[in-house]
Amino acid sequence: MYHRHPWEASVDAVRAAVLSEDRPGYVWLETQSADPYGSFSWLAAGAPQMWHRPEHPSGAATLHDWNALVAAWRAQPTWWLGMLSYDLKSVFEPTVPQPQNRRPEEPDFLFFEPSWVAYTNAQGTWLELHPDFSRAKFDAWWANCGNSAAAVPIDGSPTTATREQSAVISPKESSYRTAAESLLEAMRQGSIYEANLCLPWVVSGAQDAAGLYVRWKERAQPPQGGCARFPGVAVVSGSPERYLQVRGRTVRSRPIKGTAPRSANPQADAAAVRELSGSSKERAENTMVVDVVRNDLSRVAIPGTVCVPQWCEVETFPTVHQMVSTVEAQLAEQHDVWDAVAASFPMASMTGAPKIEAMKQINAVEGFARGWYSGALGYIRPNGEADFNVVIRSAVVGSQVRLAAGSALTLAANPQSEWEECQLKVNPLLELVRG
């Protein structure tokens, strides 16, 4: 078991130290706006003891890979931090095809066991150390990174090279309309009644993930944000959405469906909230997703415990207003977080309804491998508690930068409006990536 020690360190100092690391296996997670369900105001981890990923070099997982992953944690419960790729869907639903153009640096799952974890919660600031990692080793790392971060502070300013190299490959509106019409036709035929259609953007040239995160967190103020380094890539997350949380025996998801732009004019901004809150279209989309989450969680819950304590409430973030619901349940005695993931992944807000058929229809028309976009970033604790976000309003940073955005289609949807919603979601982060 990890050894826990009280620790005196400021959030700014720890953030700077972790972001100054350019080696894989360092994660920074933080809450920058209201999060009534958060366990920590910030969490950091680093120095991997062991990595866990699918056996195949492509990163494609099999059911054997997944079962081996789960068995490894259950045999020795410990801290794990990492990623779940959207493409893990094909393990849980084998009738949904694997993507053809997957990226090996974004495997279907990727976790590491850290040598140390630090965090602030309601009781104070704490440092947890792996039994094979001494306090002296941590103190040496802290002193070295603290000095480095102080000598070269991360101010988030884009470099000239970033500006000069930021050629963008953007999706075509005509292709989006064709895909949207295909999904709408499937709805008219009765195959599905909601689908989340996503679009990719690729920005060429090197990018400093730490600097991008600093700029993005200041603008987005996310409740589920973070920066995580993995072999070959980093994830810069400004996510507002919680995919799955386990606290005690309570399992919780907070799906988002419904978006409206912010306005600098207070009257116009308040009007946007009223319009979003009263929109029958947006409320219908959110309700459909809530029903999918309820069904997913019922597969691992004590019967009769699935409930919706928050339904279609508008929450405001610096760049957008969002309609958010909360679904909760009590895990049955024989189930844990891994069962909850298997029952509910991918998250309903990024798929559709009915879920399996919606994923098939989306696969047929999207034309790109989502990879870690619309997957999940988070942690699992030795006691089985866990928290994962939805990787949206985020960038995967490697030799190039990948972003994506999506919106829900129903028969009430206007493809032009949905295209504009995707632009609304991606543009703030795209502007920062381009410098």
Angle, alpha carbons 172-222-146 (nearest 5°): 115
**What single-letter amino acid sits at 87?**
D
CA distances for 86 relative to 56, 183, 322, 390, angstroms: 17, 19, 22, 10
**Which residues does 350 contact at the CB level (< 8 Å), separation at least 6?**
86, 196, 198, 374, 390, 392, 406
For residue 9, which of 143, 187, 160, 170 has the smallest C-alpha distance?
143
Q: Which of 113, 241, 285, 328 is catalytic?
A: 241
* Max CA separation in the chain (angstroms): 65
Q: Is 241 a catalytic residue?
A: yes
Q: Which two tokens stand for residue 381?
A: 């604790």
Q: Which of 89, 257, 355, 360 is catalytic?
A: 257
CA distance 331 to 203: 42
Three-class SS of residue 372? coil
Q: Is 257 a catalytic residue?
A: yes
Three-class SS of residue 271? helix
Angle, alpha carbons 108-110-115 (nearest 5°): 175
How many other C-beta atoms are found inside a 10 Å radius of the C-beta of residue 174? 8
For residue 430, which of 160, 205, 216 has the smallest C-alpha distance?
216
Alpha carbons within 13 angstroms on the beta-carbon side of residue 370 total 35
CA distance 407 to 197: 6
List active site positions: 241, 257
